[in-house]
């Protein structure tokens, strides 16, 4: 009952709600572990372009570093030369920087550590903890056992350290064909955790590596490279996704048995799943190579370059990721959450303009032919400093086809025969006549206007509720507008009947190209990357590839919320 809140209470902002990783990090920091240091890393494999799922890993790793005055390394996990390419390294750098994170000079490659990893492998052999196995892939798989059955020791498991050392050196020297031999850790073929059943450490693979060229013909596997790379870089918290939980015992086994310079700690969290979206690099690759989309940067793609071209801002993505939270539960985030993050940001920052997507001609009969009235339109009602711009009203103008209905439903308060509507920033007009072509399609509206209704003034005898956007013939510039919708028609695109491909869930209407829109003249000259709200329609951005002043092309980033169409859907 007592008022414990004074108006200027210094700390009545809600306590920071920590996620489970932050809780552990703070506990470590409090306990004085790692010398009070926090050091994370983002370790992508350069085998594709980064997508919204990676954005979470990026935000978590780099974000944590920012939050606790720590550091975050960028490390390319390039241990499989058959899949990795320089093109992807470049693309990833660009996308991470675009998101607004920097890794300073701490850009590393797992391949930087190949020599050290090789030494460590030899150490393991000398300690009797690794051996060269001559079995084939099939044999190894077959003898690994299953959940119920323990595995069977390899017949080569008992080779001496000397023999193993010699064989491993010969593997490296290229004396055996690909796949002929592997190096395995000697752990426990009966372990309940499959990862501990003598995991493969090195395989022979003659593939050109994007960085080390042909220097190596043997390459370490993920498990043998990752933890040690963390250790080399002094990573304190190695954050990864849930599917590596079962690998943690192995991660720690290497740390236990190798003379590593540091002991990082692995913590797993759930990946981001988004409705109507896939985040499998392989499947995204398929969409690109099978031509379902125009490329990795197609505005419908969940890749960071796709989102960028679509008009998503780095901040909106970071806000979204932040808002989604971090936990171990595997959930799916509603797509509207992403869209709202963009809307919320652009509502505050984007200047407003008028554009008509599907133009319907309006002639104001009682308007003097040559008269042009200049009105000041507010650039951004959320930001007074954005100022105003002139728009010009004339006898002929374009309005949205949707803003006129011959036979409207109840509560439709835009234009209809005999009805009236306000032109945004202009006066009230009344529809006197509907002109149709031979096929019965409405091609023109003949209207009259009330010059006493500027500046929001209502007509004397009635109240006009509807306000519509318009572009006058005087101001109009033709433009192409690309309207994007979800790439998939199902919230869970991967859920398909047996034998069917996820591509059958592709939304055939995910792209609609409008070639004859008209926009305010000023929109022709805008810079790519600059977002605008087209009033009453949504947020749009000039296409970074195709827009030019002589041929304006806009992408719809996201529509405005539309409670009218929502209420009329049922």
- The rounded distance, in Å, linking the Cα atoms of 405 and 468 is 13
- Residues catalogued as catalytic: 45, 271, 281
Contacting RNA within 253-272 (CB under 7 A): 270
Binding residue ranges: 45-47, 51-57, 77, 222, 271-272
The reply to whether 388 sits near RNA by the rule CB under 7 A is no
- The rounded distance, in Å, linking the Cα atoms of 443 and 437 is 6
The piece of 294-302, 318-326, 473-481, 503-511 that touches RNA (CB under 7 A) is 318-326
- Identify the residue among 37, 424, 474, 521 touching RNA (CB under 7 A): 424
Contacting RNA within 488-527 (CB under 7 A): none
Q: In sequence order, what E strands does 94-223 have?
A: 107-109, 130-133, 182-185, 200-204, 218-220
Q: Please give the size of the binding site for RNA, defined by CB under 7 A.
A: 91
The reply to whether 182 sits near RNA by the rule CB under 7 A is yes
- Identify the residue among 115, 155, 331, 549 touching RNA (CB under 7 A): 331
Q: Which residue number, 19 or 503, has a Cβ lying nearer to RNA?
A: 19
Which residue reads 């799916």 in tokens? Answer: 332
Binding residue ranges for L-glutamine: 77, 222
The reply to whether 416 sits near RNA by the rule CB under 7 A is no
The reply to whether 83 sits near RNA by the rule CB under 7 A is yes
Q: Which residue number, 491 or 528, has a Cβ lying nearer to RNA?
A: 491
Binding residue ranges for ATP: 45-47, 51-57, 271-272
The reply to whether 143 sits near RNA by the rule CB under 7 A is no
The piece of 197-205, 251-259, 388-396, 480-488 that touches RNA (CB under 7 A) is 197-205
Q: Strands of 351-353's sheet, edge to edge?
A: 351-353, 532-534, 538-542, 553-559, 476-484, 511-520, 355-356
- Identify the residue among 326, 445, 517, 518 touching RNA (CB under 7 A): 326
The reply to whether 381 sits near RNA by the rule CB under 7 A is yes
- Which is nearest to 373 in space by CA: 354, 389, 394? 394
The reply to whether 417 sits near RNA by the rule CB under 7 A is no
The pair of structure tokens assigned to 526 is 């805008």
Q: How far is the CB of 550 from RNA (least distance, A)?
A: 28
Contacting RNA within 21-40 (CB under 7 A): 23
- The rounded distance, in Å, linking the Cα atoms of 516 and 397 is 15
Q: In sequence order, what E strands does 84-137 have?
A: 107-109, 130-133
Longest pairwise C-alpha distance within the chain: 103
The reply to whether 535 sits near RNA by the rule CB under 7 A is yes
- Identify the residue among 36, 234, 295, 325 touching RNA (CB under 7 A): 325
- Identify the residue among 2, 13, 14, 30 touching RNA (CB under 7 A): 14
- The rounded distance, in Å, linking the Cα atoms of 192 and 528 is 56
Is residue 126 within 8 Å of 165, Cβ to Cβ? yes
- Identify the residue among 34, 80, 238, 313 touching RNA (CB under 7 A): 80
> Angle formed by the axes of helices 114-126 and 161-172, to 10°?
160
In the three-class reduction of DSSP (H, G, I as helix; E, B as strand; rest coil), residue 236 is classed as coil
The reply to whether 239 sits near RNA by the rule CB under 7 A is no
- Which is nearest to 268 in space by CA: 249, 285, 253? 249
- Identify the residue among 190, 336, 435, 525 touching RNA (CB under 7 A): 336
Report residue 400: phi and psi, to 5°.
Answer: -70, 135
Q: How far is the CB of 533 from RNA (least distance, A)?
A: 6
Q: Which residue number, 243 or 437, has a Cβ lying nearer to RNA?
A: 243
The piece of 112-120, 165-173, 236-244, 513-521 that touches RNA (CB under 7 A) is 236-244
Distances (CA, A) of 561 to 199, 223, 333, 423, 506: 53, 47, 18, 21, 24
The reply to whether 563 sits near RNA by the rule CB under 7 A is yes
Q: How far is the CB of 376 from RNA (least distance, A)?
A: 10
The pair of structure tokens assigned to 448 is 């009259």
Residues 6+ apart with CB under 8 A from 226: 43, 77, 110, 238, 251
């Amino acid at each position: 009952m007592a008022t414990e809140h004074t108006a200027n209470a210094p700390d009545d902002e809600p306590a920071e709600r920590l996620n489970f990783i932050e809780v552990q990090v703070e506990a470590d920091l409090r306990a004085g572990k790692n010398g009070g240091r926090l050091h994370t890393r983002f370790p992508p494999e350069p085998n594709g372009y980064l997508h919204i799922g990676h954005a979470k890993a990026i935000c978590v790793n780099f974000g944590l570093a920012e939050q606790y005055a720590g550091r975050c390394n960028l490390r390319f996990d390039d241990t499989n030369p058959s899949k990795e390419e320089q093109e992807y390294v470049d693309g990833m750098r660009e996308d991470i920087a675009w998101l607004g994170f920097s890794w300073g000079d701490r850009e590393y490659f797992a391949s930087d550590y190949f020599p050290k990893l090789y030494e460590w492998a030899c150490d393991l052999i000398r300690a009797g903890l690794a051996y060269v196995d001559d079995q084939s892939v099939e044999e190894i798989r077959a003898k690994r056992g299953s959940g119920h059955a323990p595995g069977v020791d390899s017949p080569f498991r008992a080779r001496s350290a000397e023999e193993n050392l010699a064989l491993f050196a010969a593997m490296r020297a290229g004396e055996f064909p690909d796949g002929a031999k592997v190096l395995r850790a000697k752990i426990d073929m009966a372990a309940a955790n499959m990862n501990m059943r003598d995991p493969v450490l090195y395989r022979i693979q003659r593939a050109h590596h994007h960085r080390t060229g042909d220097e190596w013909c043997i390459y370490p596997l993920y498990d043998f490279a990752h933890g040690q790379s963390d250790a080399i870089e002094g990573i304190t918290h190695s954050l990864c996704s849930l599917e590596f939980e079962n690998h943690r015992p192995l991660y720690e086994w290497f740390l236990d048995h190798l003379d590593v310079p540091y002991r990082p700690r692995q913590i797993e969290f759930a990946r981001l799943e988004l409705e109507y979206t896939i985040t499998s690099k392989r499947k995204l690759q398929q969409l690109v190579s099978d031509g379902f989309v125009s490329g990795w940067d197609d505005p419908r793609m969940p890749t960071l370059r796709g989102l960028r071209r679509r008009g998503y801002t780095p901040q909106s993505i970071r806000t979204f990721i932040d808002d989604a939270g971090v936990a171990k539960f595997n959930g799916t985030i509603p797509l509207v959450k992403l869209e709202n993050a963009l809307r919320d940001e652009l509502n505050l920052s984007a200047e407003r303009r008028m554009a008509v997507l599907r133009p319907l001609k309006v002639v104001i009969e009682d308007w003097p032919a040559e008269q042009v009235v200049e009105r000041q339109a507010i650039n951004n009602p959320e930001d007074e400093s954005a100022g105003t711009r002139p728009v010009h009203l004339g006898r002929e103008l374009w309005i949205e086809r949707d803003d006129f209905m011959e036979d409207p439903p109840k509560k439709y308060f835009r234009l209809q025969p005999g009805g009236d509507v306000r032109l945004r920033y202009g006066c009230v007009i009344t529809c006197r006549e509907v002109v149709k072509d031979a096929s019965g399609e409405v091609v023109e509206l003949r209207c009259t206007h009330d010059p006493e209704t500027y500046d929001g003034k209502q007509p004397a005898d009635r109240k006009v509720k509807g306000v519509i956007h318009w572009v006058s013939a005087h101001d109009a510039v033709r433009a192409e507008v690309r309207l994007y919708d979800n790439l998939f028609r199902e919230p869970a695109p991967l859920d398909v009947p047996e034998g069917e491909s996820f591509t059958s869930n592709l939304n055939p209407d995910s792209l609609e190209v409008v070639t004859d829109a008209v926009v305010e003249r000023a929109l022709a000259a805008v810079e790519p990357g600059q977002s605008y709200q087209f009033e009453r329609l949504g947020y749009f951005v000039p296409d970074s590839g195709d827009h030019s002043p002589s041929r304006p092309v806009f992408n719809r980033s996201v529509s405005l919320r539309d409670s009218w169409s929502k209420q009329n859907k049922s």
